Amino acid sequence: MIRRFIAYLLVVALMASNFSRFFVYAGFELNRNYIATKLCENRNKPWLHCNGKCYFIKKIRQAEEKEKNEERQSQKNLFQEALFVQKPGIRFYSQLLQVMQVPMHRIALPAVDLPIFQPPQLG
């Protein structure tokens, strides 16, 4: 029972991090009137017809920056240093295990003297 609850909680947490822009947009749509009257930077300039879009864009940029910072942090955590506790056992042998003789088969090339092709000169 608890494992199932934890699994659902982790799935929801993963989806929430991937859909952060959607949540910002949903929050904007639900609170559009409040944002336009109280939080909008251009609320004193009605001729701009902003209606809180400036606040929405600012929140979207903040969410993107947060995602980038989290991604950088996760990439930093992936970098790990390796520490060897024991010295690696490396041995150098002075003799070869086996010497192989490679047969030398010579191929006779045709003894025809042909001139090298040269394209005609322009002139």
Percent of the chain at pLDDT exceeding 70: 89
**DSSP reduced 3-state for 112:** coil
Question: In whole angstroms, what is the distance from residue 43 CA to residue 35 CA?
Answer: 9
Question: In whole angstroms, what is the distance from residue 37 CA to residue 39 CA?
Answer: 6
**DSSP reduced 3-state for 5:** helix
Contact by Cβ (8 Å): 43, 37:
yes
pLDDT the model gives residue 75: 76
Comparing 30-34, 50-54, 93-97, the range with the smallest average pLDDT is 93-97
Going by the DSSP 8-state scheme, the letter that residue 58 receives in this structure is: H
Q: In the predicted model, what is the mean pLDDT of the chain?
A: 78
Question: In whole angstroms, what is the distance from residue 77 CA to residue 33 CA?
Answer: 42
The tokens for 68 are 């980038």
DSSP 63-103: HHHHHHHHHHHHHHHH------SS-------SS-S---PPP
Residue-wise pLDDT for 71-85, tens only, equals 888 777 776 666 667
Residue-wise pLDDT for 36-84, tens only, equals 777 777 777 777 777 788 888 888 888 888 888 888 887 777 766 666 6
Comparing 14-28, 66-80, 85-99, 109-123, the range with the smallest average pLDDT is 85-99
